[in-house]
Amino acid sequence: MNIVVFTSEWNIKHAMAARLSLLLTLTIIILINSVGGLENGKIKITVGTTAGCSDTVNFITNQLLPTYRKYERFLEIEFVAWGRTRRENGVFTFCQFNAMNCWVNRMHRCSLDMMKGNQTRQLEFMSCEFSPPLPVILRESYDCAISSGLNVVDVDFCLNNPHLDSLDDVAQEAAAEPVSAINFIPYIIINDNTDVNVHNQALRRLSSVICFLLAEDPASGVTECQI
């Protein structure tokens, strides 16, 4: 008797799980139509990050890295290391958590800029920065910049001379719309379409979202996608 009850409960749970994943699959497929497919064989993923943010740590570690390992050749990754920073007349007027947050984000912008053209290197750097014990934000260290092969003197010079480049202007402009529309850090944008529903799915199951997007294009050779 106990076994029968156990079995039927298991079946119900199983059926519910199947229905849930079918629902999610449909949700993702419908969303994907609004995002569009591959552009020049690539899917662009833009990630708005901020230093010291545990949601950014989780996303980079548990979603972005595994997805990148699987689909690297199809992906164009762009980081906007700005968070919710506000800035007026070249001065930071709001930093999340503490003032250091703005400067660590600036350090990320400098470092990413120095590595532009090699997104694997950028991703490895960001993954290092957003791994425990969050090197820069907590220890004010350049460990990740060093392990990424950057010249620390150059990084430091960039960090302290924001007036000499347009990195802050570019990031501020890029973050404005997604921060107001999605209102979550990290925010995720696929193919430059800011969409809170796509963001919500990508945040939780990026690999599935990318898989379903790739499966829409027979040329990708990707067929079996799971939730």
Ligand X SMILES: *[C@@H]1O[C@H](CO)[C@@H](O)[C@H](O)[C@H]1NC(C)=O
Query: Per rule CB under 6 A, is residue 118 in the interface with ligand X?
Result: yes
Nearest residue (CB) to ligand X, 77 versus 189: 77
Minimum Å distance from CB 145 to ligand X? Answer: 12
> Cβ of 156: how many Cβ atoms within 10 Å?
14
Nearest residue (CB) to ligand X, 49 versus 122: 122
Nearest residue (CB) to ligand X, 115 versus 175: 115
- Helix/strand/coil (H/E/C) assignment for every residue in 59-107: HHHHHHHHHHHHHHHHEEEEEEECCCCEEECCEEEECCCCHHHHHHHHH
Query: Per rule CB under 6 A, is residue 120 in the interface with ligand X?
Result: yes
Minimum Å distance from CB 121 to ligand X? Answer: 4
Query: Per rule CB under 6 A, is residue 124 in the interface with ligand X?
Result: yes
Minimum Å distance from CB 34 to ligand X? Answer: 33
Peptide bond into 218 cis (omega under 30): no
Bridge-based pairing state of the strands 75-81 and 43-49: parallel
Query: Per rule CB under 6 A, is residue 76 in the interface with ligand X?
Result: no
Minimum Å distance from CB 124 to ligand X? Answer: 6
Residue 91 forms beta bridges with which residues?
88
Query: Per rule CB under 6 A, is residue 121 in the interface with ligand X?
Result: yes
Instruction: Identify the H or E element spanning 48.
Output: strand 43-49
